[in-house]
Amino acid sequence: MDTQTSTRTPPPEPRTFGFYVGGQPVAAGEREVFERASPGHGVPVTRIPTCSAQDVDMAVAVAREAFEDRRWSGLSGADRAAVLLKTADIMRARLDEIAYWESLENGKPIAQARGEATGCIGMFEYAAGLARALHGDSFNNLGDSMFGLVTREPVGVVGLITPWNFPFLILCERVPYILASGCTMVTKPSEMTSATTLMLAEILTEAGLPDGVMNVVTGPGSTVGTAMTEHMDIDMLSFTGSTAVGRLCVEASARSNFKKLGLELGGKNPQIVFADADLEDAADGVAFGIAFNTGQCCVSGSRLIVERSVADEFARLVADKMSKIRIGDPLDENTQAGAITTDAQNRVIMSYIAKGQEEGATLAYGGEQLDLGMGQYVSPALFTGVTGDMAIARDEIFGPVLTVQEFDTVDDAIAIANDTVYGLAASVWTKNIDKALTVTRRVKAGRFWVNTTLSGGPELPLGGFKQSGWGREAGMMGVEEYTQVKSTHIEIGKRSPWVDG
């Protein structure tokens, strides 16, 4: 395990932001201000207003007015596409700035943050094409007296709640698709990582998005998030986070206006490795799958399910890969794994590492709290001798903790993989196409990787099975998710009378 030193530094003073309503920032004024310390450095980097339920009401009212007067939904797909493409251009020009603030607030390596922001540019460019491609259907088979149309209309005002682990990436997996559909929105980032969301709102305004179409309220989920989930004038809510909070969103929707929900929730994702795989490639992929973003990733491959005949050898290969991961200052360009994003999550991760040992699993590698002289860092942990009833094998830890379970047959591997309430993602490593196809067909997961992991782009939809969520983001389905379908029957010619005379 290598550690790195910094080549860049945090700002000398924290940057102050306002929340964003009606095309302009709103200063904190009398509101409380949350000062965010960089998890990689332990110094304050941003100051963000703490909004109230009344601020949510104001933002929703502005978004509602912007939707009803059709300043955005009434534009052609081509006009909406032009704004999305201009946004991508501005994002490209401000790429380093976005990556810097993302890295500071989240603790992820700046090179990773830059790569994610580059992918976000692609999201906007792809969604621009979808704004022009979105269409309905027609039915010319209803007889000479009837013609049928099926049209898609924007669902209305969308509430968007995003988490702290991928503040900009998850935002951009949704915002351009919501806008392509013609909706307006109120967005709430995590109070820990609000900067890049507020920056995107400014960029969209600069790109020509009409005022009031994208609004950002900041603050904790307990107040601001709850106000959004229960709001009677939000037509759809998109939430990314834990399954427990997703369940609260469902309950709040039922209590309020039965708003449509899009939910991307938890995961306990299997990486299945067969003996016939390229074990060197697989070990590298497994290490990447658990250590990327310090394991704070809903699709991280946290359950290694490996064929028994190569299990010991493969565990050694993975441990060797883990030992070479460059852990250190997020602002160092060479860092591969940065800081744990929040104090609370750091405590959760370390408690599960202790619990795994208490349950009888063997800590084969890592799992230490690292003292780098600043911030909070954890070395990736590898547990062997794990059984399916252990908490470390069942709970979403949301950290770099990898468990190893062994199998003998394809059916065994599939059964272990499916032995979870989640179904978000999965990977399989094998050079046998029959095994690969069998596993991809039978393992219940919304995203699947064969001989790779955590790859993708804007073309394919994202989402989960079982308790990992509802709906799909990205791709054409990501635009359709934010529409409603309307069927229209058009009678041709004179009506056949129902009433005589």
Catalytic residues: 264, 298
Q: Token digits for 32?
A: 């409380």
What Å distances lie between residue 251 and 85, 247, 337, CA to CA?
37, 6, 37
End-to-end alpha-carbon separation of the chain, Å?
91
| Cβ–Cβ under 8 Å, residues 92 and 110 | no
Phi-psi region of 451 (alpha: psi -120 to 50; beta: other; left: phi over 0): left
Give the DSSP per-residue string, 448-472.
Answer: EEES--S---SSS-B--EETTEES-
Within 8 A by CB and 6+ apart from 46, the residues are 14, 15, 16, 17, 35, 36, 101, 104, 105, 194, 195
Instruction: Match 């405590």 to its residue by tokens.
Output: 347
Q: Which residue has the tokens 């269409």?
A: 135
DSSP per-residue string spanning 239-308: EES-HHHHHHHHHHHHHTT--EEEEE-----EEEE-TTS-HHHHHHHHHHHHHGGGG--TT---EEEEEG
For the chain, helix, strand, coil in percent to 5 are: 40, 25, 40
- 3-state SS, 135-165, equals CCEEECCCCCCEEEEEEEEECCEEEEECCCC
Task: Tell me the one-letter amino acid at 186.
Answer: V
Sign of the CA dihedral running 463, 466, 471, 475: positive
| Cβ-based neighbours of 33, under 8 Å, separated by 6 or more | 16, 47, 48, 49, 50
